[in-house]
Amino acid sequence: MIREVSHSRYLMGKLSHGSDILEAITSICKQHDIHLGRVEVIGAVQKARLGFYDQYEKVYNYFDIDREMEITSLTGNVSLKDGIPVVHAHINLSDADGAVIGGHLAPGTIVFASEYVIQAFEGPEFSRGLDKVTGLPLWED
């Protein structure tokens, strides 16, 4: 599947200390009517909740990191699921020793300090639906 999209606009800002990254970015997309886009975030978290998809069981397994970490990379996209904007993102975090851990960004990842860029696109709708092969909510053809 390939669909051509075009750049529409950028939103840049700071997330509030103590906010949930995934919930905050999703809320911004809803408030600004962004249904298709790309997300980047840098900064630091107070704690995190990440997921890893078990390809055989077809379920996400989540784990918590209950310590301060630096966001070395957070990238994701915005599309629609059941007609509502949804953010799908992955995050890499490093500790004081530089050890990195990453995974699927889940609710419960709490901001210490964070800045974001959301790039909105215009083009054909990307909607998520259940992919029977993987069991994941992927973009539908």
Tell me how far apart the alpha carbons of residues 27 and 81 are, in angstroms, rounded to a whole number: 14
The number of residues making up the chain comes to 141
Asked if residues 64 and 48 have their Cβ atoms less than 8 Å apart, the reply is yes
pTM, to two decimals: 0.93
| CATH numbers and ranges of domains, the chain | 9-120 (3.30.1330.80)
Rounded average pLDDT per 10-residue block, the chain, 141 residues: 92 98 98 97 98 96 98 97 96 97 98 98 94 93 84
Give the alpha-carbon dihedral of 55, 80, 26, 4, to 10 degrees.
100
Residue with tokens 């419960």: 108
